[in-house]
Structure 1
Amino acid sequence: MSESAQLPRLRAKKRLGQNFLVNEGAITTIVGSALGSKASRLLEIGPGPGVLTERLLADGRPLWAVDLDPEACALLSGRFSGKPHFHLLEGDAVRLPLPEGGPWSVVGNLPYNAATPILARLLTEGIPWDRMVLMFQLEVAQKLMGEPGTKAYGPLSVLAQLCARLTRLVKLGPGSFRPAPKVDSAVVQFEPRSEAPSLVERRALLTVLHRSFSHRRKTLANNWQGLLPAESLSEAGLAPALRAEVVPPAAWLSATRALLIQHPEVFPS
């Protein structure tokens, strides 16, 4: 069993979804992967007591840490404010403005109650990144890597897999955290695809996916009833009699591109 890292004193807050990582092997894996990026700067989301922060700063690259918890921010400021390459941003990572500039290596033990919207922002808002190394509940990680025809496969799977190459680095049990959560967790590494859809296509893709998966047991024709006729789905390359869960990511992107041209009224302006 891996030894545990020593946590500086910080009270975990359930309402913020905080579970602090103490598994030394996982910490080493996460930091090593994040620093393996060639990005000129680092972005840490949800640093908490700063266990990852301390090791990331040792690399010497500028690091911006984003945390919603004022108590965590006070602790981080006290620990690292003497380091000129440390920058602290207090606020919600779902919407807090980020400094402009070159690509990030993004790292984070994401709060469980905000992990999906944080990831959606990173994938759809044009935030430049060269690599992301992020902790999720195991169930969310399984959805990210879900394959067509499986229960895990859904809108998050399609968006993530079209935008990035995904690798699960490590699976962790509750004992790897303080306090221990009631679920397993997993760390996923994201590397951008050169052929990833444009930002406009990504947002349109989510519209198509959320409508198509709105009732998983229904066919595409039934889910789109009242918005698009079955022949329009066929023209976009989607067989109306299929369920969304069997359509592979590439086909979703192709269909979204066709619908953007043929039926722009479907998409919010």
Structure 2
Amino acid sequence: MQYTLKKSLGQHFLKDERVCEKIVKALREDDFSHLLEVGPGGGALTKYLLQLSAIEFKAVELDAEKVAYLEHSYPSIKGKILHESILDVALPFPVPFTVVGNFPYNISSQILFRILEWKEQVPVMIGMFQKEVAQRVTSKPNSKDYGILSVLIQAYYDVEYLFDVPPGSFNPPPKVMSGVIRLKRRSTHYDMKNERSFFTLVKSAFNQRRKMLRNPLKSLFDKELLQEEIFSKRAEQLNVEDFAKLTFKMK
């Protein structure tokens, strides 16, 4: 049974067995009993995940043709596929679960925000992204890649860049390098006013990342407060804790 590749869904299917094995090895460094694969596609990684013992497995796949292909090629997956978009699917398990996947590149940032929505249920995520996105998630202050994704993800997860994946590992080969990263939920929480204030602050600050913070943040703080030294900095100069502390001073 054959399948077609759909550019509209950002499909670049993994074909390199060594990369699949490295992802599974990284997965097994943490204990888990429930596993969700996002975008199994042609099943290169899926066939390894189905072999994991004592694991309740589900996969979320939007493309009906791929669902049919997977059920035909891997009969044991029947009943375990959620035929939906990861952006719309309901919480797949009532208990904590690990997320893994070669994520569709055209919605990779949205997938990360989905993981943030599920952060209480997702202690670990291992995902493949365009290298540029992977670098944004893992970058530190005072770098050009450091931005909204970096701060919001790192507020709740410890992040680690695991390894590069070259274009030749995929069919069709993307025009860019890819990278696999791991998120592990932080054991301690940053003290902040509330999550909504934190998200609003971070997004507003990076909205005009080249300007001193007192410009993009003038609607969120009293005029007198904006004279404080920290507001002379640019967004990329603040670390996660700086942003968290600032939420207490918001209007």
Same fold, judged at TM 0.5 (above): yes
* Alpha-carbon distance, 1:195 to partner: 1.3
Work out whether residues 148 and 248 of structure 1, in 8 Å CA contact, stay in contact via their aligned partners in 2: yes
Tell me the CA shift for residue 229 of structure 1.
3.1
Rounded to whole Å, the distance in 2 between the matches of 1:142 and 1:22 is 23
Q: Could you tell me the TM-score, scaled by structure 2's length?
A: 0.91
Q: Among 152, 174, 177, which residue is 1:181 paired with?
A: 174
1:91 and 2:84 correspond? yes
Deviations 1:25-78 (A, max 9, x none): 211111122233212111000000111111111013111100111111111222
Match of 2:155 in 1: 162
Partner residue in 2 for 1:26: 19
* One-letter code aligned to 1:191: K
1:112, 1:180 → 2: CA distance? 13
Q: 1:82 to 1:147 in 2, by over 3 A?
A: closer
5+ long unaligned stretches in structure 1: 1-7, 264-269
How big is the shift at 1:245? 0.8
* Cα distance in structure 2, aligned partners of 1:107 and 1:91: 16
**CA-CA distance at 1:163 after TM superposition:** 1.2
The 1:93/1:192 distance shift into structure 2, 3 A limit, reads same
Indicate the residue corresponding to 2:134 in structure 1: 141
Q: 1:16 to 1:159 in 2, by over 3 A?
A: same
**Does the alignment pair 1:67 with 2:61?**
yes
**Aligned: 1:215 with 2:208:** yes
1:172 pairs, out of 154, 165, 169, with 165
Q: Aligned partners of 1:193 and 1:126: how far apart in 2?
A: 10
Q: Matches of 2:24 and 2:206 in 1, distance apart?
A: 36
Structure 2 residue identity aligned to 1:89: L
Structure 2 unaligned runs (5+)?
Answer: none
Asked if the contact 1:9/1:49 (under 8 Å) is kept, the reply is no
Q: Structure 2 residue aligned with 1:47, among 40, 46, 57?
A: 40
Contact 1:35 1:56 in 2 (8 A): no
Cα separation, partners in 2 of 1:178 and 1:213, compared to 1, 3 Å? same
Give the whole-Å Cα distance in 2 for the aligned partners of 1:107 and 1:199: 29
Q: TM-score, normalised by structure 1?
A: 0.85
> Does the residue aligned with 1:213 lie in a helix, a strand or coil?
helix
Q: Counterparts of 1:64 and 1:152 in 2: how far apart (Å)?
A: 33
Counterpart Cα distance in 2 of 1:35 and 1:234? 50
Task: Evaluate the alpha carbon distance shift between residue 27 and residue 90 of structure 1 in structure 2; reply closer, same or farther with a 3 A threshold.
Answer: same
What is the CA–CA distance in structure 2 between the aligned matches of 1:157 and 1:143, rounded to whole Å? 6
Name the CA shift for 1:10/1:218 in 2 (closer, same or farther; >3 Å): same
- The one-letter code sitting in structure 2 at the alignment partner of 1:162 is A
Deviation of 1:137 after TM superposition, in Å, equals 0.5
Aligned to 2:224, what secondary structure does the other structure show? helix
Match of 2:241 among 250, 262, 265: 250
Paired residues, number: 250
| Deviation (angstroms), 1:198 | 8.7
Distance of 1:31 and 1:91 partners within structure 2: 24
Indicate the residue corresponding to 1:231 in structure 2: 224
**Structure 1 residue 227: Cα displacement:** 4.0
What is the SS of the residue equivalent to 1:250? helix
Point out 4+ residue stretches in structure 1 off by more than 4 angstroms: 197-200
Pick from 70, 74, 82: which aligns with 1:76?
Answer: 70
Aligned: 1:131 with 2:131: no
CA distance in 1, matches of 2:23, 2:166: 16
RMSD: 2.2
> Aligned pair in 2 of structure 1 residues 73, 229: CA closer, same or farther (>3 Å)?
same
Q: Which moved more, 1:91-100 or 1:122-131?
A: 122-131
What whole-Å deviation, never above 9, does each CA across 1:184-215 have from its counterpart, x for those lacking one?
A: 10000111101135999444322111101111
